Amino acid sequence: MSAQAGGDQSRGVPHVIIVGAGFGGVSAAQALARAPVRVTVMDRSNHHLFQPLLYQVATASLGPADIATPVRQLLGRQRNAIVALVEVTGVDPDRREVSYTSADGRAQTTAYDYLVLATGVEQSYFGHDEYARFAPGLKSLTDATTIRSRGLTALEIAELEPDPSKHRDLLTFVLVGAGPTGCEMAGAIAEALRGPFRAEFRRVDPGSARIILVEGEPRILMSFSESLARRAHDRLTSKGVEIRTGARVEHVDADGVIVAGERISSRHVLWTAGVKPSPAGRWLRAETDHAGRVRVQPDLTVAGRPEVFVVGDTSCLEHDGRPLPGVAQVALQQGRYAGRVIEGRLAGAAAPAPFRYFDKGNMAVIGRGFAILESGRIKLSGLPAWLAWAVIHLAFLPAAGNRFSVFTQWAWSYVTAQQQSRLILERGSPKATEPPDQKR
Amino acid sequence: MSAQAGGDQSRGVPHVIIVGAGFGGVSAAQALARAPVRVTVMDRSNHHLFQPLLYQVATASLGPADIATPVRQLLGRQRNAIVALVEVTGVDPDRREVSYTSADGRAQTTAYDYLVLATGVEQSYFGHDEYARFAPGLKSLTDATTIRSRGLTALEIAELEPDPSKHRDLLTFVLVGAGPTGCEMAGAIAEALRGPFRAEFRRVDPGSARIILVEGEPRILMSFSESLARRAHDRLTSKGVEIRTGARVEHVDADGVIVAGERISSRHVLWTAGVKPSPAGRWLRAETDHAGRVRVQPDLTVAGRPEVFVVGDTSCLEHDGRPLPGVAQVALQQGRYAGRVIEGRLAGAAAPAPFRYFDKGNMAVIGRGFAILESGRIKLSGLPAWLAWAVIHLAFLPAAGNRFSVFTQWAWSYVTAQQQSRLILERGSPKATEPPDQKR
């Protein structure tokens, strides 16, 4: 066993490797704070990302650091934990080893006694990976700042374009998928473009932008009740968002999309239609569901591998006959559960009670001052739901510094209606829809 | 004449093109707010950068958006101005045309009646441009976030490196040039590494890092009086910064530097030793000084071209027998002066009085709570100077939103001593000193 990523002083103490420092991984590590183990948390980025507010970075309301917390800040002071900035490349479940590449490019392996895989999901293009270059998803800070730069650059190009007929595709935004992320993005884009910074342009009116939300299902926000989804629909429409439900995107290219047979020219296609799990299932050679998520036992372990837990979006567990949704709360609760099971086993406790998800509810926000919220029998919409949304999101931000900076940024933009992070940091590429590393 | 970057409605009104939206360009545009002209401000980035605080982005204390303001936010509401995100590629002073590439890659030209070049400086390696890949300067937000990522990544690599002898070059920082930027960076790096986040590492002690400040002159901070420079020197030394004065850097490569014959292994060499002007002098085919700065007349115009002004760091004007320093105040005052001269000429005023620089003084900060300040006969150091520094910098930030966010970030980190922007956004490259686009 290599010592690279394990603790030094505590040989002989069981080694828990946690892969992924999202909601599931961090909560598993924290649940083990007092357990007689040494914990190694591996992630390829140095920060834990508060995904629920990522759309606000993409729309220039918040800066990247507001919603990202160094993993080391969250876990570095936990005496039995070590944080490793490495990219995990595989797992050998028979030899109980994780292989990874460290930030200086060296390939290494480390043995574990317990393994928690919390490796999340990435965007799925349903077999059309070629769409990715034209229609980015919204999963990482880099995705968010790229989307922000492209949108701002398009406005700058339109401002210098004397032919108003050419403004149209520069200012047509197509969002594929009307789940919470798609709806939140659509509302935030509408608000940003129809806000006070219109007065700063001469030739182009950012407020004239078309924002089109496309959804294959018969209505938006399928995870909410129909009445609440209706309210969100009306709110989006009143902000000028065009909603096309029951409409499938048939093609995506550099010039736009084809939706239900109609071509829509657009330089800004954003893909929030689907996700695919991390390669955790392949690493483990474990049973997966149709999407590739690892089927786990009621105690979140993999069949036949009681030392391997899979938590969060990359796992699949049926709960009252339905698979659990891929949301932060599930990952948080599963991570904590896995940590406690490990601690219990080491203490010689009896087999744990199966994991139970406590569903605290579901929220989506449509612009400033409007949200929908569903929790048990409670259904709220409008300002009260938005206030609840704001308080809950502030409370769940992982560090006091994040709460402070998000709160002060929100307060400032509430008063001034200014967006605070309108930066183009990447050099504006000629074709706004192509990633900078692609050749045209 | 192409209409691309000029105003539409106001043909026949004199057209002023301002190239560069730094301190000089923005103040020139603002001085023309009530003049009967149309103004086009061209810059290749969409933001005005508050350079004096850039070192705080490089050391993770502030985020990029805190010190960057969209040019459009500063000037977009000025009715006679248009903001153009373009890269200027040349000037034809005989035809009175500026050529540029727009963000969608099209090459264009636009005619001017008056031209203000405020194109600043870039890092100079004194004929050794090959050093640039190993020793970045600190001029743009991208420079700052790259330096931040490399420093944070080195700590992460060291944390996973079991051989402590290898920690040394990962944690040796060499700053070439002990002007204000070099000294401010050295102080800020020392404070960041010796601060509370040491407790978050297990194997490596960030506080053990070597920080070496190299200066060819016999003392640091040559632009300050000897007594103040001495105090800054003592302060830096007490923070553990090694200062080598009268020592020249003879070579820079991937493994470090050679200083006065001695090789110092380092993955973090930062170059703040010199600047070279923008190509403004070449564009104009005008007389330049030895460094390449455009020699201007007492009214800041170029000899024989009364319609062309050159302001700020890229111009050279003798003042009481000495060339003016390349500082923000000179650029600000020169930009304002150029705007007023143009307005005066259009109003048929007599020849203007020559430009006079009002020297408000000179400041440098060494970590939290200590600065030196020199203004006329006033010499201050320590906390009073630091308070003056903080108030003056807040006051000079260009927009209320920047003042608010810098103030709240400072207040937060004053209370918690946490750095708020410890993000690695670029993928950590194996060799921390090589830019990501270089092949190893």
- A25-68 pLDDT tens trace: 999 999 999 999 999 999 999 999 999 999 999 999 999 999 99
- Alpha carbon of B324: minimum distance to chain A alpha carbons (Å): 31
Chain B residue closest to A63 (CA)?
B65
Q: Does A163 touch chain B (CB under 8 A)?
A: no
- Opening angle at CA A343, ends A341 and A348, nearest 5: 90
Q: Which of A77-91, A420-434, B379-393, B423-437 has the lowest mean pLDDT?
A: B423-437
Q: Are A82 and A75 spatial neighbours (Cβ–Cβ below 8 Å)?
A: no
Tell me if A367 sits within 8 A of A188, measured CB to CB.
yes
What pLDDT does A197 receive? 81
Residue B89's domain is classified under what CATH number? 3.50.50.60
Check whether residue B140 and residue B118 sit in a common domain: no
| Alpha-carbon distance values, A249 to A162, A233, A273, B15, B409 (Å) | 32, 20, 10, 47, 44
Give the other-Cβ count within 10 Å of A348's Cβ: 6
**Does A286 score more than 70 pLDDT?**
yes
The pLDDT tens digits for A33-42 are: 999 999 999 9
List the single residue in A46, A104, A404 with the smallest CB-CB distance to B424.
A46
Report how far Cα A120 is from the mean position of its chain's Cα atoms: 9
What SS3 string covers B73-123? Answer: HHHCCCCCEEEEEEEEEEEECCCCEEEEEECCCCEEEEECCEEEECCCEEE
Tell me if A2 sits within 8 A of A101, measured CB to CB: no
Cα separation, B274 vs B259, in Å, equals 17
Percent of chain A residues topping a pLDDT of 70: 94
Contact A423 B102 (CB under 8 A): no
| Residues B423, A68: C-beta atoms closer than 8 Å | yes
Query: Of B77, B104, B440, which to mutate for an interface test with A (greatest number of A Cβ within 10 Å)?
Result: B104
| SS3 per-residue string spanning chain B | CCCCCCCCCCCCCCEEEEECCCHHHHHHHHHCCCCCCEEEEEECCCEEECHHHHHHHHCCCCCHHHCEEEHHHHHCCCCCEEEEEEEEEEEECCCCEEEEEECCCCEEEEECCEEEECCCEEECCCCCHHHHHCCCCCCCHHHHHHHHHHHHHHHHHHHCCCCHHHHHHHCEEEEECCCHHHHHHHHHHHHHHCCHHHHHCCCCCHHHCEEEEEECCCCCCCCCCHHHHHHHHHHHHHCCEEEEECCCEEEEECCEEEECCEEEECCEEEECCCEEECCHHHHHCCCECCCCCEECCCCCEECCEEEEEECHHHEECEECCEECCCCHHHHHHHHHHHHHHHHHHHCCCCCCCCCCCCCCCEEEECCCCCEEEEECCEEEEEHHHHHHHHHHHHHHCCCHHHHHHHHHHHHHHHHHCCCCCCCCCCCCCCCCCCCCCCCC
Tokens 């003879």: give the residue.
Answer: B250
Name which of A7, A104, A424 is nearest B430 (Cβ-Cβ): A104
Q: How far is A372 from chain B (nearest CA, A)?
A: 30
Q: Does A357 touch chain B (CB under 8 A)?
A: no
> Mean per-residue pLDDT for A291-296?
94
Asked if B160's CB is within 8 angstroms of A5's CB, the reply is yes
Region A370-376 average pLDDT: 95
Q: Searching chain B, which residue's CA lies closest to the CA of residue A159?
A: B84
- Identify whether the C-beta of residue B418 lies closer than 8 Å to the C-beta of residue B412: yes
CA B323 to chain CA centroid, Å, is 19
pLDDT tens column, B138-168: 999 999 999 999 999 999 999 998 888 788 8
Does one domain contain both B51 and B27?
yes
Please say whether the beta carbons of B29 and B41 come within 8 A: yes
Residue B105 contacts A, CB cutoff 8 Å: yes
**B7 lies in some domain:** no
pLDDT surpassing 80 at residue A23: yes
Q: Do B201 and A422 touch (CB under 8 A)?
A: no
The boundaries of the domain holding residue B43 are: 15-123+275-346
Lowest mean pLDDT among A433-437, B274-278, B279-283: A433-437
pLDDT at position A428: 39
> Residues A215, A244: contact at Cβ < 8 Å?
yes
3 state DSSP class of A70: strand
Chain A: closest CA distance from residue B366 (Å): 24
Which one of the listed residues B97, B184, B215, B374 is annotated catalytic? B184
For position B384, which CATH number holds? 3.50.50.100
- Any domain includes B2: no
Answer whether B203 sits within 8 Å of A68, measured CB to CB.
no
pLDDT tens-digit series, residues A221-255? 999 999 999 999 999 999 999 999 999 999 999 99
- The whole-number pLDDT of residue A59 equals 93
The residue from B302, B317, B346 where one domain ends is B346
Q: Which residue has the higher pLDDT, B414 or A402?
A: A402
**Alpha helices by DSSP H, A318-420:** 328-346, 383-396, 400-416
Tell me whether residue B324 is in a domain: yes
Domain match, B28 and B177 both? no
Cα A409 from Cα A419, distance rounded (Å) = 9
**Measured distance CA(B440)–CA(B427) in Å, rounded:** 15
The answer as to whether B176 is a domain residue is yes
Last residue of a domain, one of B290, B317, B346: B346
The reply to whether B424 falls in a domain is no
Residues B369 and B266 in one domain: yes
Q: Judge if B140 and B198 occupy the same domain.
A: yes
**Residues 6 or more apart in contact with residue B34 via CB below 8 angstroms:** B343
B418 in A contact zone (CB under 8 Å): yes
A174 interface with B at CB cutoff 8 Å: no
Q: Both B196 and B148 in a single domain? A: yes
Identify residue B33 by its one-letter amino acid code: A
Report CB contact under 8 Å: B8, A105. Answer: no
Over residues A409-419, mean pLDDT: 85
Q: Is residue B93 in a domain? A: yes
Q: Are B284 and B392 contained in the same domain?
A: no
Question: Are B245 and B199 in the same domain?
Answer: yes
Mean pLDDT in residue range B416-429:
73
Structural domain contains residue B421: no
Residue B264 CA to residue B174 CA, distance in Å, equals 8
Give residue-wise pLDDT tens across range B29-66. 999 999 999 999 999 999 999 999 999 999 999 999 99
Nearest to A217 by CA among A175, A273, A256: A273
Closest CA–CA distance from residue B101 to any residue of chain A (Å): 10
Is A184 an annotated catalytic residue?
A: yes
Instruction: Let me know: does A77 contact B200? Beta carbons within 8 Å.
Output: yes
* A-B contacts (CB, under 8 Å): 178
B407 interface with A at CB cutoff 8 Å: no
> Would you state the pLDDT for residue A169?
82
pLDDT band with cut points at 50, 70 and 90 for residue B184: very high
3-state secondary structure of A262: strand
Domain boundary among B313, B346, B379: B346
Sequence-distant (≥ 6) Cβ neighbours of residue B172 within 8 angstroms: B209, B210, B212, B256, B264, B265, B266, B267, B268
Q: What is the pLDDT of residue B75?
A: 95
CB contact under 8 A, A423 and B104: no
| Residue at token pair 């657009």 | A266
The average pLDDT across B276-281 equals 93
Same domain as B144, residue B172: yes
A428 interface with B at CB cutoff 8 Å: yes
Q: Do A201 and B142 touch (CB under 8 A)?
A: no
The CA distance from B240 to B186, in Å, is: 10
Tally the domains of chain B.
Answer: 2
Q: Share the mean pLDDT of chain B.
A: 90
d(CA B169, CA B255): 8
Residue B222 falls within a domain, yes or no? yes
Query: Which helix (H) or strand (E) is A151 found in, with range?
Result: helix A141-159
Q: How confident is the model at residue A426 (pLDDT cuts 50, 70, 90)?
A: low
Which of A97, A184, A343, A374 is an active site residue?
A: A184
**Together in a domain, B230 and B314:** no
Distance from CA of B398 to the nearest CA of A (A): 13
Least confident of A415-419, B143-147, B242-246: A415-419
One domain, residues B190 and B58:
no
Q: Are residues B134 and B238 in the same domain?
A: yes
pTM of the model as a whole: 0.90
- Residue A205 carries which side chain, given as an amino acid letter? D
pLDDT in tens, A128-170: 999 999 999 999 999 999 999 999 999 999 999 888 878 888 9
Residue B67 reports pLDDT greater than 80: yes
> Which helix (H) or strand (E) covers residue A19, if one does?
strand A15-19
